[in-house]
Structure 1
Amino acid sequence: MAHITTRQAWAQAQVAGEYTAPSLQKQGFIHCSRPDATQLIPVANFLYRGQSDLVVLLIEPARLTAQLKWEEFEVGSQRYPHIYGPINLEAVVEVLDFPPRPDGTFELPLGLPV
């Protein structure tokens, strides 16, 4: 499972001992995706196009202390993982740099499935 965030937010999480996102306060959960081209890249291109200070947190669901639910974004759409609480740092198994291409769009970081 994957979550896109800024380097600064990840650094703050390491100091705080857990990661939170603005959506946790606004919607009650942290948005995530599968770490593949069918979910991660469309989300990145829609929400983060051209932003250069990003990382992808790779999360091991079995290590989460908060509740995880796979839910449809809209009726009949793909199911996305939502984490209902802060992400404990032990659940983050890898942090990958996520720079945009010259045109501002994204491609999968090396090591992730195509």
Structure 2
Amino acid sequence: MPNRPATAYKVLTSPQMADLEAGSFEGAPIDIQDGYIHLSTATQLTETVDKHFADQPDLWIAAVDLEALGDAIKWEVSRGGAEFPHLYGALTLETVIAYSPLEREDDGSIKLPVTG
């Protein structure tokens, strides 16, 4: 089994973040259509935002504890042959270890929420 990170990230709109803060997030329209919640690793996050959320205001980044989700996480091959973590089930606030408004570093990469 490849060495996989223990944390992944979900990009959320402000209304989706409000759902999560209320307890759980069932998925964006694309998640519901595909049957799972799309997550990205730290190294995949900037490309995900640039490709799927370009010019969208008021976005949030949630850091998700993959180990707490156990078997609900499946690593599946997606664009370019890369493995992405997919959550089969709802994202609950108790499995989110940090979240913050989407901000970029000076180099243009996405600033990760501060955990711990």
Match of 1:84 in 2: 88
Name the amino acid aligned to 1:53: D
Q: Deviations over 1:29-79 (max 9, x none)?
A: 00011023xx111111011111121011100112226710011015x6110
Match of 1:61 in 2: 66
Q: Tell me how far apart the structure 1 counterparts of residues 112 and 39 of structure 2 sit (CA, whole Å).
A: 19
Q: Tell me how far apart the structure 2 counterparts of residues 53 and 100 of structure 1 sit (CA, whole Å).
A: 13
Residue ranges of structure 1 left out of the alignment (5+ in a row): none
State TM-score, norm by structure 1.
Answer: 0.78
**1:56 counterpart SS class:** strand
State TM-score, norm by structure 2.
Answer: 0.77
- Residue 100 of structure 2 corresponds to residue 93 of structure 1: no
Q: How many corresponding residue pairs?
A: 104
Identity of aligned pairs, percent?
A: 25
Taking only aligned residues, the RMSD between alpha carbons, in angstroms, comes to: 2.3
Q: CA deviation at 1:99?
A: 4.0
The residue correspondences of 1:1-114 to structure 2 (distance < 5 A) are 1-15=8-22, 17-21=23-27, 22-36=29-43, 39-64=44-69, 67-74=72-79, 77-99=81-103, 107-109=109-111
Q: Which runs of 4+ in 1 moved over 3 A?
A: none
Residue ranges of structure 2 left out of the alignment (5+ in a row): 1-7
- As a proportion of its length, which structure holds more helix? 2
